[in-house]
Amino acid sequence: MTDQTHPQIRRRVVLSAAVLLSGTACSGGKTSKLGQGAGQPPKALPPVSVPDMHASADPNVPPAYLRYPAAPFKSVKAKPGDGSTVDTFQVLFYPPPQARGQNPLWQQLETRLGVRINPNLVTSDLYDQKMATLAASGHLPDLMFLNRNDSASAGRLIQNGAILDLSPYLSGDAVNDYPNLGRLPTQAWTSSMVNGGIYVVPRPLDPVTGSVGLYRKDWARALGVDDPKNADDVYAMLTAFAKRHPAGNATVSWALGAWQQQMFNQMFGAPHGWRRNDDGTLTKDLETKEFENALDFMRRLWSGGVYHPDTATLNNQYQKLRTLFVGSQQIGMFLEGYISQFDTTGARGLLQQTNPKADARPFVPPGHDGGKATSYASSGYFGGMGIPNSLKNDSARVRMLLRLLDYYAAPFGSEEYLFMNYGQDGRHYKRDEHGNPRTTDKWSEVLALTYMCQPMDATLYFPSQIQDALIAQQGIQTAMPVQPDPTRQLYSRAALTQAGTLNQLNEDYLADIVTGRKPLTAIDEWRDQWRSRGGDTIRKEYESALRSLPGGGR
């Protein structure tokens, strides 16, 4: 039996290209075809379970739970299906499940839902390729996993009108018919909307306070540089990490193995991707003085020996960075998905197994001038389930499919949540002495079939790690003010087609300027190159899309 009480699937690495593509993917069609619905997310419905810890009134701070209810409640009153066959297209992060006839979980899932599930399961590495094939076929399944950040084809399906706008069924009070969907975090809904329309039922992800890295608090304490109050203090802490190994041994250490540009942008107040001006125009972060100041600070850090010498190549290599933080313990700061930092298989837990004296904590950076830094709001979701527009005249089937998704989205503490996330008692999990489900080595069968729109990723649940649950929640509560990306809901054709070119351009100039191969003044050349290679076109398309939103997107 594995020692895991909080199984979760998360994207642990977000590459720079994914950031460029965030909220963007379209080809063909016109933006005006989108978002003809109500332009509002579903009404937020109240929770049905009482958390063990929720000291903050901030809705962006997820509740924390220490125990799973001994007697889970039912969140779905009646069997949602109508006895028909439902074709699905789902992403697969695990080995494929056994065939239906040899798979009791599959059989019980169909019994619970009241439909026959005919899944097309696609491994995550082939998702974009298979999505392109599916889109070209012209025959879309009843439910399909759409992640426009990972697939241009998924974005095109929405852009070209192949995916049903669910606003009439879910916007505002309409979600009352699907209460579990109404309990999904509002941020996940608003971020996944496109030009005012609801095209997917989102799969919630980590807290929307954005990425917060782990740092070696024990190192900082030992060196007398903990709790930095401004940019100079951060510089002192990071350079201290690199001057001598805080553990006092002969191992060479550095503070950072990745550029951590986002953290420094936040410290210096650079906008989250874009800044929306009062006149409705947009300014790219690269074009701001705040971005330039952050870049200059990174140059100081490089000169101070803070960065691993291979940072330029390590920057997007998650596993190698994790090994440097957890295994060899040669770097003092590491960025990982927020909740997954505290999972038993997360960096904090693994580090403590390697070195019980190690104390890794969330690093909430200060503002450069001693005030508060801003936090870049995450999307709050990772893909979602869409319904083909071919069903637009069959409202009965659309409603039935939404009832199925309502079952998948059952909240923590419910009988349905326990089944959808943990499977069958005795086979996929066993209750421990406190009644918490502990997964077995067969647990991978579960999410191979049920990965759709579960709310697990937005829940702090660490029954065997009470201290970690408290630290995780405090880390969010003390985080910086959340700053959204004003283009999150928008599509730009140029942002998709030019992503590769602009991503490489940005990476090259960043590395050259930070390491001193180019002077800081080369940022002017960088800006000109960015604008001429598609940046200005992206800006115009985003500005046009903003004007088309209800109320001008305000």
Q: Is the pLDDT of residue 385 over 50?
A: yes
Helix or strand holding residue 404 (H, E): helix 395-408
- Rounded distance, CA 46 to CA 33, Å? 33
534 shares a domain with 467: no
Alpha-carbon distances of 262 from 15, 76, 267, 439, 515, rounded to whole Å: 12, 41, 9, 35, 17
pLDDT of residue 87: 98
The string of DSSP codes covering 12-29 is ----HHHHHHTT----SS
> Quick check: 141 and 377 in contact, CB under 8 A?
no
Confidence band, pLDDT 50/70/90 cuts, at residue 59: low
196 shares a domain with 294: no
Q: Is the pLDDT of residue 341 over 90?
A: no
Confidence band, pLDDT 50/70/90 cuts, at residue 252: confident
394 shares a domain with 290: no
- Token look-up 């839902």 returns 113
- Token look-up 């503070």 returns 255
* Coil, helix or strand at residue 414: strand
pLDDT tens digits along 64-78: 888 899 899 999 999
Q: Say which range, 7-11, 219-223, 442-446, 531-535, has the weakest mean pLDDT.
A: 7-11
Q: Write out the two tokens for 95.
A: 């080995």
The answer as to whether 366 is a domain residue is yes
Confidence band, pLDDT 50/70/90 cuts, at residue 38: low
Helix or strand holding residue 204 (H, E): strand 201-204
pLDDT of residue 19: 30
Alpha-carbon distances of 530 from 36, 442, 495, rounded to whole Å: 33, 49, 12
493 shares a domain with 435: no
Residues of the chain with pLDDT > 90: what percent?
56
Q: Say which range, 156-165, 254-263, 383-392, 491-500, has the weakest mean pLDDT.
A: 491-500
Confidence band, pLDDT 50/70/90 cuts, at residue 52: confident
Confidence band, pLDDT 50/70/90 cuts, at residue 248: low
pLDDT of residue 541: 93
- Print the domain residue range for 436: 31-208+380-478
- CA proximity to 509, closest of 333, 286, 240, 342: 286
The string of DSSP codes covering 61-85 is S--EES---SSPBP---S----S-E
Q: Is the pLDDT of residue 15 over 70?
A: no
Higher pLDDT, 478 or 407: 407
pLDDT of residue 225: 94
Mean pLDDT (whole number) for 472-478: 70
- Of 478, 510, 531, which marks where a domain is finished? 478
169 shares a domain with 105: yes
Residues of the chain with pLDDT > 70: what percent?
87
CA dihedral 35, 36, 39, 41 (to 10 degrees): -70
* Coil, helix or strand at residue 408: helix
Number of domains in the chain: 2
Q: Hey, what amino acid is at 296?
A: D
Q: Say which range, 133-147, 321-335, 382-396, 471-485, has the weakest mean pLDDT.
A: 471-485
pLDDT tens digits along 264-301: 999 999 999 999 999 999 999 999 999 999 999 999 99
pLDDT tens digits along 78-124: 999 999 999 999 999 888 999 999 999 999 999 999 999 999 999 98
Mean pLDDT (whole number) for 217-243: 95
Beta sheet of 333-334, edge-to-edge order: 333-334, 214-216, 360-362
Confidence band, pLDDT 50/70/90 cuts, at residue 227: very high
491 shares a domain with 474: no
pLDDT of residue 60: 67
508 shares a domain with 416: no
Mean pLDDT (whole number) for 170-179: 95
- Rounded distance, CA 187 to CA 46, Å? 15
385 shares a domain with 372: no
The answer as to whether 9 is a domain residue is no
Higher pLDDT, 207 or 433: 433
253 shares a domain with 124: no
Confidence band, pLDDT 50/70/90 cuts, at residue 55: low
- Token look-up 């700053």 returns 483
Instruction: Report the helix count and the strand count for the chain, using DSSP H and E.
Output: 22, 16
pLDDT of residue 138: 84
- Rounded distance, CA 514 to CA 520, Å? 8
Alpha-carbon distances of 285 from 145, 275, 368, 521, rounded to whole Å: 31, 7, 17, 16
The answer as to whether 16 is a domain residue is no
pLDDT of residue 554: 57
CATH number of 533's domain? 3.40.190.10
410 shares a domain with 353: no
pLDDT of residue 196: 83
Q: Say which range, 53-57, 185-189, 307-311, 484-488, has the weakest mean pLDDT.
A: 53-57
pLDDT of residue 35: 52
Q: Say which range, 33-42, 411-420, 428-437, 443-452, has the weakest mean pLDDT.
A: 33-42
253 shares a domain with 224: yes
- Of 478, 502, 530, which marks where a domain is finished? 478
363 shares a domain with 418: no
- Of 478, 509, 533, which marks where a domain is finished? 478
The answer as to whether 554 is a domain residue is no
The answer as to whether 8 is a domain residue is no
pLDDT of residue 447: 83
Q: Is the pLDDT of residue 53 over 80?
A: no
Q: Is the pLDDT of residue 257 over 90?
A: yes
- Rounded distance, CA 299 to CA 520, Å? 9
Q: Say which range, 90-99, 174-183, 403-412, has the weakest mean pLDDT.
A: 90-99
The answer as to whether 3 is a domain residue is no
Q: Is the pLDDT of residue 57 over 70?
A: no
> Quick check: 387 and 397 in contact, CB under 8 A?
no
Q: Write out the two tokens for 348.
A: 């904090």
Calculate the average pLDDT of the chain.
86
pLDDT tens digits along 201-226: 999 987 777 667 899 999 999 999 99
Mean pLDDT (whole number) for 430-456: 87
Confidence band, pLDDT 50/70/90 cuts, at residue 479: low
The answer as to whether 38 is a domain residue is yes
pLDDT of residue 459: 75
204-243 exposure pattern, b = at least 16 Cβ within 10 A, e = fewer: bbbbbbbbbbbbbbbbbeebebbebebbebbbbbbbbbbe
The answer as to whether 46 is a domain residue is yes
